[in-house]
């Protein structure tokens, strides 16, 4: 990135918006998103602290805090006497679309530590999407759990799960794994239908995932069913597309 490109890329108008958090957080999101989508390539060097502060029209303290967060997240490495460089991103997590598994189980199988931050939890009147997916009327209630899911401390997905009240009458019991609680009650889904859509994140979800507003993400809507065919789970997840790949195995029906 030459000088004129750097002026435009780091200019305040490219990354700062009133009301969307501290300047160091917004600068961090801007740089981390550019690393994820390839605009800042692996092994490319960030401007020196003084130069970056001038380009971004912020204090050196703001730059220092933004870069420190990039280093903590493993996106940037600081080389003694040389400066700050973009690290090569590791391989994406590949999750099969043919296996019904919970986030907790998936991360455990890959040796990662999962955790959840509960954003909303309780019994509510259903939204139109929930009513249609779960086959319930607007007069009934749904147990709704919205969580920010982490793996090894990195925010991965914003996930909102909705279930009929008789299936999950006490949503406050769900801390980490929804499916564990459902299995204890004998009501876990045995099959599901998933729909994947490419989206751009709104400001609220982007802040939760430490990405810039408008960053690309994958929205997955999953409806889970009991063996009887009754739909009992509607989950909408917003997944970081810089970390996740979803893989499906296809087979040819009939004789070749």
Question: Can you list the alpha helix ranges (DSSP code H) found in 161-201?
Answer: 178-184
Output the pLDDT for position 248: 61
- Do 233 and 136 lie in one domain? The reply is yes
Band of residue 158 on the pLDDT scale cut at 50, 70, 90: very high
Least confident of 23-32, 34-43, 124-133, 216-225: 34-43
The answer to whether residue 8 scores a pLDDT higher than 60 is yes
Final residue of a domain: which of 39, 66, 86?
86
User: Domain containing 205 — which CATH number?
Assistant: 3.40.1410.10
pLDDT in tens, 74-126: 788 888 888 899 987 655 555 556 666 667 666 676 677 778 899 999 999 99
Band of residue 244 on the pLDDT scale cut at 50, 70, 90: low
Q: Under DSSP, is residue 238 helix (H, G, I), strand (E, B) or coil?
A: strand
Is 255 a member of any domain? Answer: no
pTM higher than 0.75: no
Output the pLDDT for position 179: 86
- Do 133 and 242 lie in one domain? The reply is yes
- Do 115 and 155 lie in one domain? The reply is yes
Count of residues for the chain? 256
- Write b or e for each residue in 85-113: b if 16 or more Cβ atoms lie within 10 A of its Cβ, otherwise e: bbbeeeeebebeeeebebbbebbeeeeee
What is the average pLDDT value for the chain, to the nearest integer? Answer: 85
Final residue of a domain: which of 86, 114, 147?
86
- Number of separate domains in the chain: 2
Question: Which domain covers residue 81, as residue numbers?
Answer: 3-86
Could you give the C-alpha distances from 243 to 24, 90, 119, 216, 240, in angstroms and in order? 23, 9, 22, 11, 6
Final residue of a domain: which of 62, 86, 110?
86
pLDDT in tens, 185-239: 878 898 999 898 988 889 899 889 887 777 788 898 999 999 999 999 999 999 8
Is 254 a member of any domain? Answer: no
Output the pLDDT for position 96: 57
Can you tell me the distance from the alpha carbon of 16 to that of 21, in angstroms, rounded to the nearest whole number? 9
User: Domain containing 42 — which CATH number?
Assistant: 1.10.10.10
- Do 66 and 105 lie in one domain? The reply is no
pLDDT in tens, 124-147: 999 999 999 999 999 999 999 999
The answer to whether residue 166 scores a pLDDT higher than 70 is yes
- Write b or e for each residue in 224-238: b if 16 or more Cβ atoms lie within 10 A of its Cβ, otherwise e: bbbeeeebbbbbbbb
Is 256 a member of any domain? Answer: no
């Amino acid at each position: 990135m030459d000088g004129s490109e750097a002026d435009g890329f780091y200019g305040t108008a490219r990354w700062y918006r009133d009301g969307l958090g501290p300047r160091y957080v917004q600068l961090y999101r801007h740089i981390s998103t550019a690393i994820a989508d390839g605009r800042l390539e692996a092994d490319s060097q960030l401007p020196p602290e003084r130069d970056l502060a001038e380009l971004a029209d912020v204090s050196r303290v703001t730059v220092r805090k933004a870069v420190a967060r990039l280093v903590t997240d493993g996106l940037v490495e600081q080389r003694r006497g040389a400066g700050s460089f973009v690290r090569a991103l590791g391989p994406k997590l590949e999750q099969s679309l043919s296996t019904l598994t919970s986030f907790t189980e998936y991360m455990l199988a890959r040796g990662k530590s999962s955790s959840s931050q509960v954003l909303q939890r309780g019994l509510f009147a259903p939204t139109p999407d929930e009513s249609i997916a779960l086959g319930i009327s607007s007069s009934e209630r749904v147990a709704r759990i919205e969580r920010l899911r982490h793996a090894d401390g990195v925010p991965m997905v914003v996930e909102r799960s909705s279930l009929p009240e008789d299936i999950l009458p006490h949503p406050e019991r769900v801390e980490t794994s929804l499916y564990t609680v459902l299995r204890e009650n004998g009501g876990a889904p045995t099959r599901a239908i998933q729909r994947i859509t490419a989206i751009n994140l709104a400001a609220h979800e982007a802040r939760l995932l430490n990405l810039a507003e408008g960053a690309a993400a994958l929205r997955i809507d999953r409806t889970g069913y009991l063996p009887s065919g009754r739909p009992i789970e509607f989950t909408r997840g917003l997944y970081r597309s810089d970390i996740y790949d979803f893989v499906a195995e296809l087979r040819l029906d009939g004789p070749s």
